[in-house]
Amino acid sequence: MLVLGIETTCDETAAAVVERQADGQARILSNVVRSQIDEHARFGGVVPEIAARAHVDLLDGIVASAMKEAGVGYGQLSAVAAAAGPGLIGGVIVGLTTAKAIAMVHDTPLIAVNHLEAHALTPRLTCALAFPYCLFLASGGHTQIVAVVGVGEYVRLGTTVDDAMGEAFDKVAKMLSLPYPGGPQVERAAAGGDPTRFALPRPMLGRPDANFSLSGLKTAVRNEASRLEPLEPQDISDLCASFQAAVLESTADRLTVGLRLFEERFGTPRALVAAGGVAANHAIRSALQDVAAKAQTTLIIPPPALCTDNGAMIAWAGAERMALGLTDTLEAPPRARWLLDANAKAPAGHANSRAGY
Ligand code: KG4
Ligand code: ZN
């Protein structure tokens, strides 16, 4: 089975061709990603209108490169998959409409993939992991703990009640005048800082649910920063180190609870899987390693290029759905919001536009 996957939900324009063999083994034939970081950097964050226009300009060429690199003709495709949400609606429309046009012209089945499902299924692309497993997804738009029970069977065990984790890193970077995207900058600055200099809050610590909260912590950083103005480089490093330490402690606690909730409902997870840009953070990786070891499970973090947004994960999710006969019609709608777990309710006190709980 050969599937073309298209990803345009945020600031990466991406396309890939993935092959799924009858035994479930996968092969990535091409995976072309064009990040729009340069277009957005001077605004300190992703500007939806600029992203949508850039997707329009870039996508045709990126799809053509992915097909060429894979050495595949449109007539050979078993399906074309696009991320139909959740995400910035302008970009989603560009990717989904392109996929529909290809599906129509080449009489190929369309698969409208949930972007979060694609993140959730990525470890099966990279290491043939069996169900059920526990996913920790932490990106600029999402912070969730999800029980991945089967294709199309997801149970959200925890989510952020306010900011996404990557978003909090980006906002802290911005208030300390570090460039966008802030996550790697904060990690770098933290390496030379004192994590104990500022007594920042540990959000949600000890709570029986597995939810996250990051906006209070971010505000605490802002308060310390304005108290110290003007900031010396050491202040910035110490603030970053203290912020990261608080995120680590809170994340370890929330995931420990999440894994316990998982165990109660689904038995021992085959693995704890981390995905999303924040999983690139070395300090967070080692905290996750400890959490997994304590819960007697294995930590799997797909390679960085497959942890962050890419077309291969969309193609793979499309292939997994196609293998179960789950195709969509050309009426499939683009969706700004699209819960992975249709039964999940917004947590109490939820107040965020970007986190897309
Ligand atoms: O998954 P991703 O590439 O894109 C989406 O948001 O979908 O995640 C990007 C997010 C940004 O907020 C970025 O600041 C954060 O991941 N990030 C990091 C690190 N690298 C990227 N956060 C903390 N530490 C990092 N090293
Ligand atoms: Zn993503």
Give the DSSP per-residue string, 157-218: EEEBSSS-HHHHHHHHHHHTTPPSSHHHHHHHHHHTS-TTSS----TTTT-SS--B--HHHH
Average per-residue pLDDT in the chain?
Answer: 95
Rg of the chain (C-alpha set) = 20
141 lines ligand 1 (CB under 6 A): yes
Cα(157) to centroid(ligand 1), Å: 22
Among 355, 348, 357, 309, residue whose Cα is nearest residue 166: 355
Q: Greatest CA separation found in the chain?
A: 63
Q: What confidence tier does 356 reach under pLDDT thresholds 50, 70, 90?
A: very low
pLDDT single digits (tens) 247-278: 999 999 999 999 999 999 999 999 999 999 99
Q: Which ligand is nearest to the CA of 118?
A: 2
Ion ligand 2 contact residues with beta carbon within 5 A? 139, 309
What is the structure's pLDDT at 128? 87
Among 117, 110, 94, 95, residue whose Cα is nearest residue 332: 110
The class level of CATH for 2-127+306-336 reads: alpha beta
Fold exhibited by the domain 133-300? Nucleotidyltransferase; domain 5 (3.30.420)
87 lines ligand 1 (CB under 6 A): no
183 lines ligand 1 (CB under 6 A): yes
Instruction: Tell the residue number behind the tokens 């610590």, with chain if given.
Output: 205
Q: Which ligand is nearest to the CA of 12?
A: 1
Structure tokens at 337: 């919001």
308 lines ligand 1 (CB under 6 A): yes
Among 66, 151, 142, residue whose Cα is nearest residue 111: 151
Give the position, in ligand 1's atom list, of the atom nearest the Cα of 167.
12
- Select the more confidently predicted residue: 353 or 191: 191
What is the structure's pLDDT at 107? 97
What is the structure's pLDDT at 348? 64
Q: State yes or no: pLDDT of 134 exceeds 60.
A: yes
Q: Tell me the three state secondary structure of residue 123.
A: helix
Cα(5) to centroid(ligand 2), Å: 14
Give ranges for CATH 3.30.420.40 in the chain.
2-127+306-336, 133-300
